[in-house]
Amino acid sequence: MKNKKAVVLLSGGLDSTTNMAIAKEMKFDIYALSFRYGQRNSPELEMAKNTALKFGAKEHKIIDINLASFGGSALTDNIDVPKNKGDQIDGSVIPVTYVPARNLVFLSLATAYAEVLGAWDIFIGVNALDYSGYPDCRPEFIAAFQKTANLATKAGLSQKNQIKIHTPLIHLKKSEIIKKGDALGVDYSKTLTCYDPTPEGLACGQCDSCVLRRNGFREAGIPDPTKYVR
Ligand code: ZN
């Protein structure tokens, strides 16, 4: 079978890297898409470049969209990243690390890229479990977006094919994502998930994302290769 093209959103974090490994396993030709959106966590883009190379992406686009120009999130604005929340990471309150409509923006651009490529498949590593309750990570959002993408594009009107949004991680726990990626040969030392890393790319070890990642490795019974500040 001839390879099919897929646009794969890639932040350089644990989830998006595993998501790419799954797209590769499914024998898609990978067209990676990353964003420099004004995030604190910019060392992750260096990880993303390496990951795209490692998985043999046909192309890796890094697009500048400065979401920091209106801020509104601890990841893009002068708001402290919450640390050491302990048991409060339960998804009942949407935390300040939520970036307004980020996945809506990212998926819209991924759809445009897919249409230009003639690709029908888009992969995004969103996860509705073990996460912080972000509204743009929910299955109902993804289903609604897929419908929108097909209504909004010339490609979607062709009726021969339909754009499909793949979310292979959406119902997995963090430890299940790690086990899956480990089995597919993902080197998690080459991923960065921290919301507030040092400029050298060390993880803080205390933000929600670091805590979920640490717990995920522990629960999976796989050594955590992450370099933490402490
Ligand atoms: Zn952190």
- Structural domain harbouring 42: 5-220
CA of 51 to the centre of ligand 1 (A): 20
- In 3D, which of 8, 20, 3, 2 has the Cα closest to residue 114? 8
| pLDDT at residue 3 in the model | 64
pLDDT beyond 90 at 175: yes
Report CA(76)–ligand 1 centroid distance (Å).
15
Q: How many domains does the chain have?
A: 1
Separation between Cα atoms, residue 163 and residue 173, nearest integer Å: 26
Q: Which residues surround ligand 1, an ion (CB under 5 A)?
A: 194, 203-204, 207, 210
Rounded to the nearest whole angstrom, what is the distance from the C-alpha of residue 105 to the centroid of ligand 1?
24
Task: Characterize 69-82 residue by residue with b for buried, 16 or more Cβ atoms within 10 angstroms of its Cβ, and e for exposed.
Answer: eeeebbbbeeeebb
Q: Please indicate, yes or no, if residue 227 is contained in any of the structural domains.
A: no
pLDDT, tens digit (0-9, with 9 covering 90-100), for 101-131: 889 999 999 999 999 999 999 999 998 876 5
Q: Tell whether 120 is covered by a domain.
A: yes
Q: Is residue 225 part of a domain?
A: no
The pair of structure tokens assigned to 50 is 């390496």
Residue 32 lies in a domain: yes
Q: Closest Cα partner for 5 from 130, 149, 120?
A: 120
User: Considering the chain, what is the average pLDDT of its residues?
Assistant: 89
In a domain, 228, yes or no: no
Q: Is residue 161 part of a domain?
A: yes
Is there a domain that residue 226 lies in? no
Q: How far is the CA of 211 from the centre of ligand 1 (A)?
A: 7
Ligand 1 centroid to Cα of residue 110, in Å, is: 27
Contact indicator for 32, 59 with CB cutoff of 8 Å: yes
Q: Give me the helix-helix angle, 139-152 and 102-117, nearest 10°.
A: 40
pLDDT range class, residue 52, cuts 50, 70, 90: very high
Answer yes or no: are the C-beta atoms of 99 and 134 closer than 8 Å: no
Q: State residue 83's pLDDT score.
A: 81
Q: Spell 189-216 as b/e; 16+ CB within 10 A means b.
A: eebbbbbbbeeebbbbbbbbbbbbbbbb
Determine, yes or no, domain membership for 229. Answer: no
Residue 81 pLDDT: 82
CATH number for the domain that contains residue 39: 3.40.50.620
Question: Has residue 39 got a pLDDT over 80?
Answer: no
CA 74 to ligand 1 centroid distance, Å: 12
The pLDDT confidence band at residue 170, using thresholds 50, 70 and 90, is very high
Q: If you measure from the C-alpha of residue 81 to the centroid of ligand 1, how many angstroms do you get, rounded to a whole number?
A: 9
